[in-house]
Amino acid sequence: MTLHTQTIHELRAQLRRSKVSAREVTQALLDRIAALDRKLKAYIWLNRDDALAQAEAIDRTGAAKDGKPLAGVPIAIKDLINVEGQPCTCASKILQGYVAPYDAFVIRQLREAGAVLLGRTNMDEFAMGSSTENSSWGVTRNPWDLERIPGGSSGGSAAAVAADEAIAAIGTDTGGSIRQPAALCGCVGLKPTYGRVSRYGLVAFASSLDQIGPFTKDVEDCAILLGVLAGHDVKDSTSVAQAVPDYTRALGKSVKGLRVGIPKEYFIAGTDREVAAAVRGAIQKLQSLGAEIVELSLPHTEYAVAVYYLIATAEASANLARFDGVRYGLRVAGDDPIEMYRRTRGAGFGPEVKRRIILGTYALSAGYYDAYYLKAQKARTLIRRDFEKAFEKCDVIVTPTSPTAAFKAGEKMDDPLQMYLSDVFTLSVNLAGICGISIPCGFTTRPKLPIGLQIMGKPFGEEMILRVAHAYEQATEWHLQRPNL
């Protein structure tokens, strides 16, 4: 039995029956990381002794037999979520040396569920990017082809799960940063409804768009992990006080009679031919399973990229103002406070973060607020209304997750617009505040690279998208394929 290849639900059964110990599982993952991560670079930070101590405590207390949903399961954490006593750099030089003084809400949830916190995964700096190339720690590689990127900004989490360097992982999604890397690495990634998972303890990029969510090897694991992460938190004013269902109960149900919406705006020129064919094949599979296919339109989709890069950068400009060298992280001395701020930020922030701060500051500046930021907010309302109308006609909406498979490292670094267009199919979910999941639906040829299917749902419709995703997954075998490392 190869422990590092197991899923949450497979390990859980073995741990509860004492067929394996939490320490053995954690050691297997640490051995896997030691063997592979020098070339993959999925992790920024790893504390082997602490991970083993967590596992031994679970074995000693018998937590796995007490029914805790994640007892003994090693989970990787994206490096912008605070874990008490661990570094939290957001892959940025400006936060080097910072150690988190408290646990984020989701970390408390994971601890209570018995998870072993394995380490911190690489990411685009402050979650700004689509390739995990904007990291002060170096580039993470795609397990399917080490010359290619894993997607971003949660590329380290996606790569760790796809390469069996973690049983599951936590990421964040501001404009596709869970779903796009999940698609490019061939795993499952879910962006919850805004307000479903607390953002307390998350280092903010764009506060009206950010959400924390799971990366897993299959849909059942995704349902289990989402059930742990979700819940109301009084420390987050955007957290919604709504009961958390048992998401696993949605699995195994037929999709017969469900209405699957296909928006014409998501099947456009520029989408890779093999990606389009794989997604069309997935739609046909859902139809063969009894789903009703409904053609529909989301007419304001064409504005999503522009709207996102005004709203997200404006919020980033405000949120990142706190990093000034005064209270924590990097400080570069200057003759006066203003000079110190300028030098600290000049040395601490990378090029992409600087670009977005400048864009956001410009959009919020006097004389331009109405022309850019306010207009973008109005267009965002129109995009949300498009989805409200569409969901009157269908139960879920199905699209490609990304217009292409993983591209080569460095291929788009000199062309920010092309990089931004990598998220063209995922941005609207965040702008509308709804939920979405990406699952494997095929591969390209020469080279063999994963393709993702995106399933979008109504606000707090996670049960429905998990139901559809699971039905499709169980009718195919794409999720069973693993990269040859």
Instruction: Assign domain 3-256 to a CATH class.
Output: alpha beta
pLDDT at 1 > cutoff 90: no
pLDDT at 64 > cutoff 90: no
Residue 99, classified by CB atoms within 10 Å of its CB into exposed (0-12), middle (13-18) or buried (19+), is middle
pLDDT at 168 > cutoff 90: yes
pLDDT confidence of residue 416: 86
pLDDT at 190 > cutoff 70: yes
Contact between 120 and 79 under an 8 Å Cβ cutoff? The reply is yes
Which entry of 130, 131, 135, 177 is annotated as an active-site residue? 177
Among 456, 381, 467, 441, CA closest to 191: 456
Global pTM value: 0.97
Contact between 455 and 463 under an 8 Å Cβ cutoff? The reply is no
Could you confirm whether 438 is annotated as catalytic? no
Could you confirm whether 78 is annotated as catalytic? yes
Of the candidate ranges 21-30, 75-84, 126-135, 358-367, the one whose mean pLDDT is the lowest: 358-367
pLDDT at 227 > cutoff 70: yes
* Residue spans per domain, the chain: 3-256, 302-377
Number of C-beta neighbours around residue 208 at 10 A: 17
pLDDT confidence of residue 315: 97
Taking all residues of the chain, what is their mean pLDDT, rounded to a whole number? 96
> CB within 8 A of 334, min separation 6: which ones?
340, 341, 342, 343, 344
pLDDT confidence of residue 248: 98
**Buried-state track 367-379, b at ≥16 Cβ within 10 A, e below 16:** eeeeebbebbeeb
pLDDT in tens, 174-187: 999 999 999 999 99
Which entry of 41, 68, 78, 191 is annotated as an active-site residue? 78
Q: Is 347 left (phi over 0), alpha (psi -120 to 50) or beta?
A: alpha
Which entry of 153, 154, 198, 402 is annotated as an active-site residue? 153
In this structure, which amino acid lies at residue 134? N
Tokens of 78: 């994206």
pLDDT at 27 > cutoff 70: yes
Mean pLDDT of 287-313: 97
User: What is the 3-class SS of 310-368, one letter each residue?
Assistant: HHHHHHHHHHHHHCCCCCCCCCCCCCCHHHHHHHHHHHHCCHHHHHHHHHHHHHHCCCC
pLDDT at 434 > cutoff 80: yes
In this structure, which amino acid lies at residue 165? E
Contact between 177 and 171 under an 8 Å Cβ cutoff? The reply is yes
pLDDT band (50, 70, 90) for residue 40? very high
pLDDT at 13 > cutoff 80: yes
pLDDT in tens, 355-398: 999 999 999 998 899 999 999 999 999 999 999 999 999 999 99
